[in-house]
Structure 1
Amino acid sequence: MFKDRQSAGRLLAKHLKEYKAKKNTLVLGIPRGGVVVAAQVARSLNLPLDIMVTRKIGAPFQPELALGAVDADKEVVWNLKEINDLGLKIKDLKKEAEKQVCEIKRREVLYRQGKTPLSVADKMILLVDDGIATGLTILSAAKYLKRHKVKKIILAAPVASQDAGLKLLEHMDESVILETPGDFQAVGQFYQSFEPVEDAEVIQLM
C-alpha cells in the first residue's frame, strides 16, 4: 500500500538509483497520474522529464473496459480476444480510436505549453505510470518508443496486475514493478490517497 503517488514515486526512484544523472536517459510519464509519479522519479534521479501520451480505447457501452490503445502515430494495439468475446469488430472501434488520437494531440500541446518535446532517439527511457491494470497503454507506448529508435526501455511502476506485468516483460529491456498482487482489481486500491489528477497539475509538474 502506497501513501500517494508522490511517495510511490520517491520509493520507485530508490529502485532505479543506477540511472541517477545518467547521460542520455529520460523519464517519461503516462498522463495524468503517471506524470505525478514520474516527476518524483525525475527529481530524485536528476533526469529530464517529459510525457508519453497514449490513450485507451474503451468499449462503446463500457468506456472503462480497455479494448485497445492508440499512440500519437495513430498506431493501435488491440485486445483481439476481448473484442471477439464481445462480438465486436475493429471497425466498430475506429471512431473511438480517432477520438483518442485527437485527445493525445490536445494533451501534448496543453501539457508542454510550447516546450519542444524531448528527443527519444538513442536514449534510455524510464517509462513510468502510477499503476498498470491491462498494460495496453504501456504496450502502446513501448511500441511507439521502439519505432522512434530508443536505445532501451525500462518500465517503472509502483504496482501492476500479475497478468499485465508478465505480458509486458517481453516488450521491455528491464522492468521495475514494486508490487504485483494477486488480488489486483484496480490501481487505486493500492493507494491510501488516489485523487484524480487534473490537467493543471500535470502542467505544473512539467
Structure 2
Amino acid sequence: MPWSRAAHDGPQESETVRLPYIDRAEAGRVLAERLVPLGLDGAVVLALPRGGVPVGHEIARRLGSPLDVLVTRKIGFPPQPELGVGAIAEGGAPVFDRELLGRLGLREDDLAGTVEAERAELARRVRAYRGERPLPETTGRPVVVVDDGLATGGTARAAVRALRERGPSRLVLAVPVGAAETVRAMEAEVDEMVVPAAPWEFRAVGQWYRDFDQLTDGDVIAWLGRPGPAGRPGE
C-alpha cells in the first residue's frame, strides 16, 4: 500500500514500488522523486542515524538541500533492552509508549536511570557526528525527517516531536517503507508524510532491503562528508 499524506487531504495512492530495495541509497532515490513535487524550497534534511543517513544523502542531493543528522536513542525495558518502551531525540523530552509501560507495570520514573544512560550515549553520538556544530536552523523553514524504515515508530515520534518545538514551517516525515499500522498512527505527528511502501505484513525494516548491512559511526561520518548538491559536504 504505497501512499503519501498531506495534512489537508488524507491518504493518497502513489506509484507502486518494487520491493525489496537494493540498498538504502536506491531507497533514497525512490523516496526523493516523491518529495520533489511537494515544493520543499529551502528545506533542511535531517536523517536519523545510523540507517537513515544514506537515504537522506540521496534526498538532500536531489532536493538541493543541506543534510544533517538528528540523533535519537531507544529507551529499552531494562530486563530486555531490545524491547523499546520509549525514545529520546536530541533537544527533546523522552517519549514513552504509555500503553506498553502499563502492561509492564512501569512508571516513567522507574526508567530514570535508563534515560540518563541513553542521554549520555546520545550526547556521545552528537559529538562524533557533528562535533561542536549545532543542529541547522529549522525555525520557519521546511524540515524533512528521514529514516530507512518505520517499524514501531518510537524513535521517529521522538524526533518529530523534538523538531516541532523548533518551529519549522512544514514538518515532513519520509521513509522508504513502513508498517502500515505505524504509518497511519504517525499521521497526526507531522504535516506531510511520504511512504512509498506500507505493507501490512511487516516483521522488520531489513526484510525490505537486499543489502541491509549494519552501519558504524564511521559510516555515518563518511556519508555526511560526501559532496552534496553544491559540491560541499552536507550542503
The offset of 1:114, in angstroms, is 4.2
In the alignment, what sits opposite 2:60?
A: 42
In the alignment, what sits opposite 2:201?
A: 183
In the alignment, what sits opposite 2:213?
A: 195
Q: Which residue, out of 31, 48, 52, partners 1:30?
A: 48
The offset of 1:98, in angstroms, is 1.1
CA distance in 2 between counterparts of 1:47 and 1:19 reads 14
Please report the TM-score for the alignment, with normalisation by the length of structure 2: 0.83
Kept after mapping to 2: 8 A contact 1:19/1:25: no
Please report the TM-score for the alignment, with normalisation by the length of structure 1: 0.94
The reply to whether residue 99 of structure 1 matches residue 86 of structure 2 is: no
The offset of 1:72, in angstroms, is 2.1
Kept after mapping to 2: 8 A contact 1:135/1:164: yes
Q: Which residue, out of 109, 127, 136, partners 1:109?
A: 127
CA distance in 2 between counterparts of 1:167 and 1:183 reads 16
Q: Aligned pair count?
A: 205
Structure 2: gaps spanning 5 or more residues: 1-19, 225-235
In the alignment, what sits opposite 2:144?
A: 126
In the alignment, what sits opposite 2:10?
A: none
Kept after mapping to 1: 8 A contact 2:92/2:158: no
Distance 1:74 1:15, change over 3 A: closer
Structure 1: gaps spanning 5 or more residues: none
In the alignment, what sits opposite 2:32?
A: 13
Describe the superposition over 1:7-62 as per-residue Cα deviations: whole angstroms up to 9, x where unpaired: 10111111111357x53211000010011110111112211001111211011122
Q: Per the alignment, in what secondary structure is the counterpart of residue 132 of structure 1? A: coil
CA distance in 2 between counterparts of 1:88 and 1:109 reads 32
The reply to whether residue 156 of structure 1 matches residue 166 of structure 2 is: no
Give the aligned residue type for 1:41.
I
Kept after mapping to 2: 8 A contact 1:13/1:40: yes
Distance 1:116 1:91, change over 3 A: closer
CA distance in 2 between counterparts of 1:94 and 1:177 reads 34
CA distance in 2 between counterparts of 1:8 and 1:71 reads 24
Structure with higher RCO (Cα < 8 A, 6+ apart):
2
Identical amino acids, percent of aligned pairs: 37
In the alignment, what sits opposite 2:21?
A: 2
Give the aligned residue type for 1:11.
V
Kept after mapping to 2: 8 A contact 1:126/1:154: yes
Q: CA RMSD in A?
A: 1.4
In the alignment, what sits opposite 1:71?
A: 89
Q: Per the alignment, in what secondary structure is the counterpart of residue 170 of structure 1? A: helix
Give the aligned residue type for 2:160.
A
Kept after mapping to 1: 8 A contact 2:71/2:89: yes
CA distance in 2 between counterparts of 1:77 and 1:89 reads 13
